[in-house]
Amino acid sequence: MVGPDDPAGSEVAVLGGGPAGASAALRLARAGARVQLFERQAGPHHKVCGEFLSVEAQRDLRDMAFEPLRLGAVAIDRVRLVNGRSSAESRLPFTGLGVSRLLLDEALLEAAEAAGAEVRRGVKVIGLDAAGMDTSAGRFDAPARFLATGKHDIRGAGREPAGGGSSGYVGFKMHWRITPEQDAALGNAVELVFVEGGYLGLQRVAARVMNFCVLVRKDRFGGSWSALLAELGRDEHVARRLDGASELFERPCSIAGLPYGYVHRPSEDRDGLFRLGDQAVLTAPLTGDGMAIALRSAALAVEAWLAGLSSADYTRRLRREVAPQVRKAMALHRVTGLPIAARLASGLLGLWPPLLGRLAAATRLRESASR
């Protein structure tokens, strides 16, 4: 699919209203396109996420005149690695933010709407074909389509299985109201707590609100949230953080079977779709870069479409920018699945905490070539 000579009046469909879809809709609407965004959820909703907004993601948001600090985000400038009774801590070489996904995703959709995009909530895209798509609200034909449905594949636009990726993990997220003592102890750090077969990401996303995000191998999951909590609560550090805390959602968000390591190939771009965010690249969550990649992919895709480039040209460019980061994140991800390696790693980092900061810097997304 190639962009128009003049975007004014061009009809564009954006499928999915997460950070990738909402920011693409915002950029397209500002460029003068007539945008319709389809989001299957009728209202604000949470997603499984560590809620760590990296410095690269913040930069792309500010590039669109969107200030994440206005959402009450918490500055995160330290990383703490916890494994059993040992822990290592270091300053991050940048300041990330802890931000509620419900607030962030909703504010981005509102910004897209304010820019002139029509946001159609509660409309599910069911299938795609060469001319258009079927939705729960009927048939919709659009010459240009940006696919941003995150983890969810759409009939007619399924992804090839990930090369070397892993889908044997389950992820959960819960917000907890924590005690003032634990709020102070967690402070401005993101904590990575290693448990057998996975890890937890803990950080504050508001005063006395801790995001609790877990990624564990399926075989370590006892079948229910309460069983998993009981298992995780055997870890002293986790038990301390949850002491006197109360759950803020009725039930946790959960996700399973993701093809981590997936990076879409230009040779698979037969359908002319511009694939954004998790639909194009599924990095391992450990480095907290998923949202940055989602925002970057939207910026690159809109730029390519406006310049009349094909979706394959865009995919090539995206791969160049993000594939090195995904490889590093996947290497770290594999280590966390091996209990001995994880123990070894935290032991080494304990001996030399600044290595943690360097590791955090080394796994960042590269600066975009278009800046």
Q: Which of 81, 111, 291, 329 binds ligand FAD (CB under 6 A)?
A: 291
Which C-beta is closer to ligand FAD: that of 16 or that of 259?
Answer: 16
Q: Which of 124, 217, 319, 334 binds ligand FAD (CB under 6 A)?
A: 124
Which C-beta is closer to ligand FAD: that of 48 or that of 302?
Answer: 48
153 to each of 120, 127, 167, 275, 277, how far by Cα in Å?
A: 19, 9, 15, 11, 12
For ligand FAD, what does the binding mask look like between residues 206 and 225, x meaning CB under 6 A?
-------x-x----------
φ, ψ at 92 (rounded to 5°): -80, 150
From the CB of 54, what's the least distance to ligand FAD, in Å? 6
φ, ψ at 339 (rounded to 5°): -55, -40
17 contributes a contact to ligand FAD by CB under 6 A = yes
Stretch of residues binding ligand FAD (CB under 6 A), selected from 13-21, 67-75, 246-254, 323-331: 13-21
Looking only at Cα atoms, what is the longest distance across the chain?
61
21 contributes a contact to ligand FAD by CB under 6 A = yes
Give the H or E element holding residue 193: strand 189-195
* DSSP for 24-58, written as a single string: HHHHHHHTT-EEEEEESSSS----S---EE-HHHH
194 contributes a contact to ligand FAD by CB under 6 A = no
CB proximity list for 174: less than 8 A, separation 6 or greater: 212, 247, 248, 249, 252, 253
For ligand FAD, what does the binding mask look like between residues 128 and 167, x meaning CB under 6 A?
--------------------xxxxx-x-------------
Which C-beta is closer to ligand FAD: that of 3 or that of 285?
Answer: 285
301 contributes a contact to ligand FAD by CB under 6 A = no
Question: Tokens 């913040």 sit at which residue?
Answer: 58
3-state secondary structure of 188: coil
Q: Which of 68, 259, 277, 337 binds ligand FAD (CB under 6 A)?
A: 277
Distance CA 52, CA 190 (A): 8
From the CB of 351, what's the least distance to ligand FAD, in Å? 27
Distance CA 168, CA 218 (A): 6
Stretch of residues binding ligand FAD (CB under 6 A), selected from 43-51, 71-79, 313-321, 347-355: 43-51
CB proximity list for 65: less than 8 A, separation 6 or greater: none
The site for ligand FAD, by CB under 6 A, has a size of: 40
49 contributes a contact to ligand FAD by CB under 6 A = yes
Residues that bind ligand FAD (CB under 6 A): 15-21, 38-41, 47-52, 54, 57, 124-125, 148-152, 154, 171, 213, 215, 255, 277-278, 285, 288-292, 294
